[in-house]
């Protein structure tokens, strides 16, 4: 299933009043929070809706690779932690869909775009979880990268999104810690467990670096998102921060990051790293990754299986509405 071409935000039909845009940008420059009822340029609204819908879809699709391992967790403690994490991700998705609704887009419309294969979600979730160590690596790398990105978004200019990030980041920290503990346990376990952990690191490292998006110079959205205070830092700066944090963590548990070019740079005080395979990135983003079809099929099946819940909830809401009207 080919995902549509980049859904770069289309120019508004009617240009916004330049004076209002200037006042809006002055508010951003003063560090003010933009709230749902405030005036905003149509492009700002569309950019936020684009970004937040993809974020929400990522949270929901991200449940699938991990959900596969709930019944196969090695013990009750790991099973409980994984159930809690997957439930958290569902809540994150619903929370962010609520955020898109404050911008005037109904979540059913966004969910239908996902089900129709027309919506993006983070490419990282199109990779398979082959062993239990993958669950540890997802917590360590994927939630770790999400924390770096979302800690920045917690200062975004759009109030509902920033506030959602504050709450979500608290739970992401638990996600990362439980993942890193799994990896530390395996790395200090039997030779087979250690090999399983290293294999997972080898497979998940580069796709995790891709989570931060293309280089800023190739980003079709960064310039506008930075100008409007949505992104306080560019993709490359956040990626570099993640690499710097993770190198020390890998060293601490004697696991090797699969990048022979990884080298500490005394001048910049950063870890220089090798080139990212952007052909792989775009191949997966455009629908031709290892699990894209499987993920969409699972999402469609889950949506169909949940139809009765939506019908029952709507019937109950209508009954409550009728009772309220009769009582008035």
Binding site for ligand 3HC (CB under 6 A): 6-8, 50-51, 54-55, 58-59, 62, 89, 92, 120, 122-123, 142-143, 146, 149, 172, 210-214, 219-222, 225, 235, 285
* Min CB(58)–ligand 3HC separation in Å: 4
* Min CB(277)–ligand 3HC separation in Å: 13
Nearer to ligand 3HC by Cβ, of 58 and 129: the residue is 58
Nearer to ligand 3HC by Cβ, of 6 and 274: the residue is 6
Which residues, 6 or more positions from 268, have their beta carbon under 8 angstroms from its beta carbon? none
* CA–CA gap between residue 318 and residue 299 (Å, rounded): 27
Nearer to ligand 3HC by Cβ, of 62 and 78: the residue is 62
* Min CB(171)–ligand 3HC separation in Å: 8
Judge whether 200 and 180 are in contact, CB under 8 Å.
no
* CA–CA gap between residue 238 and residue 152 (Å, rounded): 9
Nearer to ligand 3HC by Cβ, of 84 and 312: the residue is 84
Cα dihedral sign, 20-23-28-34: negative
Which residues, 6 or more positions from 37, have their beta carbon under 8 angstroms from its beta carbon? none
* CA–CA gap between residue 17 and residue 73 (Å, rounded): 56
* Min CB(257)–ligand 3HC separation in Å: 19
Nearer to ligand 3HC by Cβ, of 143 and 259: the residue is 143
Nearer to ligand 3HC by Cβ, of 136 and 213: the residue is 213
**Nearest by Cα to 62 from 5, 139, 115, 171:** 139
* CA–CA gap between residue 207 and residue 201 (Å, rounded): 10
Residue 146: φ, ψ to 5°: -60, -40
């Amino acid at each position: 299933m080919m995902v549509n071409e980049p859904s770069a935000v289309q120019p508004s039909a009617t240009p916004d009043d330049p004076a209002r845009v200037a006042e809006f940008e002055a508010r951003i420059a003063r560090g003010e929070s933009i709230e749902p009822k405030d005036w905003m340029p149509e492009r700002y609204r569309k950019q936020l809706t684009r970004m937040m819908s993809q974020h929400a879809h990522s949270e929901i699709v991200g449940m699938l690779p991990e959900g596969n391992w709930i019944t196969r967790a090695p013990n009750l403690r790991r099973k409980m932690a994984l159930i809690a994490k997957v439930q958290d991700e569902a809540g994150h998705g619903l929370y962010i869909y609520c955020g898109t609704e404050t911008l005037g887009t109904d979540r059913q419309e966004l969910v239908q775009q996902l089900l129709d294969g027309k919506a993006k979600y983070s490419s990282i979730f199109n990779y398979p979880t082959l062993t239990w160590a993958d669950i540890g690596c997802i917590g360590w790398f994927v939630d770790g990268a999400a924390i770096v990105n979302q800690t920045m978004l917690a200062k975004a200019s759009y109030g509902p999104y920033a506030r959602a990030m504050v709450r979500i980041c608290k739970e992401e920290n638990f996600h990362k810690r439980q993942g890193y503990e799994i990896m530390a346990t395996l790395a200090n376990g039997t030779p087979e467990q250690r090999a399983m952990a290293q294999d997972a690191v080898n497979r998940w490292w580069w796709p995790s670096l891709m989570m931060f998006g293309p280089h800023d110079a190739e980003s079709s959205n960064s310039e506008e998102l930075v100008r409007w205070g949505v992104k306080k830092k560019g993709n490359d700066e956040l990626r570099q921060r993640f690499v710097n944090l993770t190198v020390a963590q890998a060293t601490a548990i004697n696991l090797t990051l699969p990048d022979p070019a990884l080298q500490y740079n005394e001048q910049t005080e950063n870890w220089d790293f090798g080139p990212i395979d952007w052909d792989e990135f775009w191949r997966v983003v455009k629908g031709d990754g290892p699990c894209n079809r499987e993920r969409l099929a699972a999402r469609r099946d889950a949506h169909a299986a949940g139809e009765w819940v939506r019908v029952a909830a709507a019937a109950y809401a209508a009954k409550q509405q009728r009772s309220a009207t009769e009582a008035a």
